[in-house]
Structures are given as structure tokens and as C-alpha cells.
Homo-oligomer: A and B are copies of this chain.
Amino acid sequence: MRNNATLKKISDHLNVSISTVSRALKDHPDVSPDTKKRVKELAMLMDYEPNAFAVNLRKKHSNVFAIIVPEISNFFYHSFVQAVEEDARRIGYSVMILQSMNDPEVEEQNLRLCRHNHVAGIFVSITNRTTDIAPFKKLEAIDIPLVFFDKVPTDDTFNKVSIADYESGWMAAEHLLTAPAKHVLLVMGNNKLSITRRREEGFTDYYHKHQCKKKLAVVYADHIEEARQAVLDYFAANKNTPTAIFSMSDEIMCGVLKAIHTLNLQIPKDIQLLTISNGFLPTLFTPDISFVKTSGYDLGKLSFVRMQEIMGGKKFVRENFLTSSYYPGGSM
């Protein structure tokens, strides 16, 4: 028993033309109040719903936004998604979430899906290993607006919205370097990403500018397990060294904590820890982990504003930054 209510069927029942039905349903001034009423009633009765395929074919674009992220298992993205969904809903659009599994190939498949479905716009946080920007260029060629957020490519012909990474690294240093430990370990993500480089730069610039005498080490990790291993390796080489650790993300922090637990070290006695986070995970531990807050929600709101600007025709490329602030916990 298929749902077959269509403009044609309604028009047949009412002895009016298809176009009249179409216009009646969208309150076009050309149709009389009386027919409007009749059409709407019958449409309601027949449970009419416009066929999105036909509408989109005609209009050449759909009204759903896509969000492409490396992995949805990231608290930062949850609030981002929520913010975008709120705003999208407000203007009658929907949001579909696609994850690239940190695989450029999957990412490209997702982009293809977006192209085929002529999505209204795409918010994308790129993969650690994304190097080919051609698929993104392709999107712009067919006028699908693109906003990069959080993990953005270095290419600067794109619209990007990101955390003020340099500043948050700087802020992290500002607080972490007050910790007693004489050693400092930076556990960073993939060092090809601008997000990583800028956070590290912010941190080390503060470090050098204040002529900090602590011994500084930096390690890079692509995911939890690598972060854990990196920290284990560090402590294998620096046994019993009180160290202040800077973790640049939730994911990294999880790895760091696993290592710390493995080594049975105490926070904040043996180790001081400060991370950059959206704020959820750090509060789950004892003591709370101190963090520099980066709001995925705010980033989502900002990204959406950019998206609407682009959709509205503002074509100039821009990069926006979002400031962050410090939330002291008990890990320092």
C-alpha cells in the first residue's frame, strides 16, 4: 500500500490543474481563497507530501547540509553538530552527518555523496592525511558552499572557521608553566595539521619569550594508542621525572591518562596535566583535568553564520577564529 498522494491525483479529484494545486499549497496569490481551502483540505486528507526528488530535480539543490568529520567519537564535534542542527532547523534545513574514519578515500566518497545529492552546503573537518584538495575544489565548481572548521587545510582559497589555536597554545603554556615540574612534555596530534602546528607554536613562543628554563620535549600522535605509547616511551627514557604535560586534545588526553594509569603515577603530585578540550571529558576524572576550553558549540554557530553569508552570495574568502578561555581543574 504505497503512499501515492501526488499533485496530479489531487488535481484530478478536484478538477483543477496540477499547477493550481501546486500554487494553492504554497499560498500563491494567484489562486482564490476558496480553491486554496479545498486543495489544502484534500491534501491533508490524502496525506500529501511533496516528492523531494522531483522538487530537488527542479530546484537543482536539496535542503540538507552535510557535516563531514574524521570521527564522530569526539566530544568536540558533538556540540558543533548540535549548534549547526539548531540553526539549520530554524531555516527549515536538515543536517546529515558523515564520518570519514580518518581515511581520505572515505572522505572523498562522502564528498561525492554530497555532490550527487547537491547538498545545500558542507561543513568539513578534514582528515589527518588529507592532501588532495581537488575534490573540494570540485564542490565549489558546482556552487556547493564549503566551510572548513577545526581541522582545516592550509590552502587559503577556502573559507575556514577555527579555534584561535595559537592563542590557546599560548594560554596553555601560560598556565602549565607555573606547575612545579622541571620538565615539560607536549603531546601533540598529527604535526602536518595546521591546528597542531599553531597550538605548538603558541605554546613554544610563550615558552621562549619567557625564557622558561624547564626542559621541553614534544611528541606527536595520531590517535589514542599512539599517544599512550608516546608517553610510555617518554617515561621509559625519563624515569621518575616529575613532568608537566600539555595535551592538545581530548583524544590525546585519553591516551596520556591511560599511560599515566599504567605507570601508576599520581596527578597532580607526580604529573601535572593540562589539556585543550570541549569541557566534557575533563570533568569525568578525579581530579578534574584543567583545560583550555574550545567551544564546539560556538564554533558551530560561527560556522553557520559563515555558511549563510556564502549562500547569500558573499564570495570573499575568510578565516575566522574563535577565542578560548582557561578552566582550572585539579590536575595542576
**Residues of chain A at the chain B interface (Cβ within 8 Å):** 1-3, 47, 49-54, 56-57, 60, 62, 64, 71-73, 75, 78, 81-82, 85, 89, 94-99, 101, 106, 109-110, 112-113, 115-118, 138, 141-143, 254, 257-258, 261, 280, 283-286
Contact = CB atoms under 8 A, between A and B. Distances in A.
A52 B96 CA distance: 16
A116 B62 CA distance: 11
Given A82-B101, A258-B283, A54 B57 contact: yes
A62 B71 CA distance: 24
A85 B106 CA distance: 10
A101 B81 CA distance: 11
- List the 8 closest pairs (A to B, CB-CB), nearest first: A96-B96, A53-B57, A52-B116, A97-B97, A3-B142, A261-B286, A73-B78, A53-B56
A285 B260 CA distance: 10
B117 A52 contact: yes
B97 A141 contact: no
A284 to B, nearest CB: 6
Given A94-B113, A261-B286, A72 B78 contact: yes
Contacts of A73: 75, 78, 280
Contacts of A261: 285-286
Nearest to A143: B2
Nearest to A118: B53
A115 B284 contact: no
A297 to B, nearest CB: 13
A116 B142 CA distance: 24
A98 B82 CA distance: 11
A170 to B, nearest CB: 28
Q: Which of A75, A89, A109, A116 is most buried by chain B, counting CB atoms within 10 A of its CB? A: A116
A74 B53 CA distance: 32
A117 B62 CA distance: 10
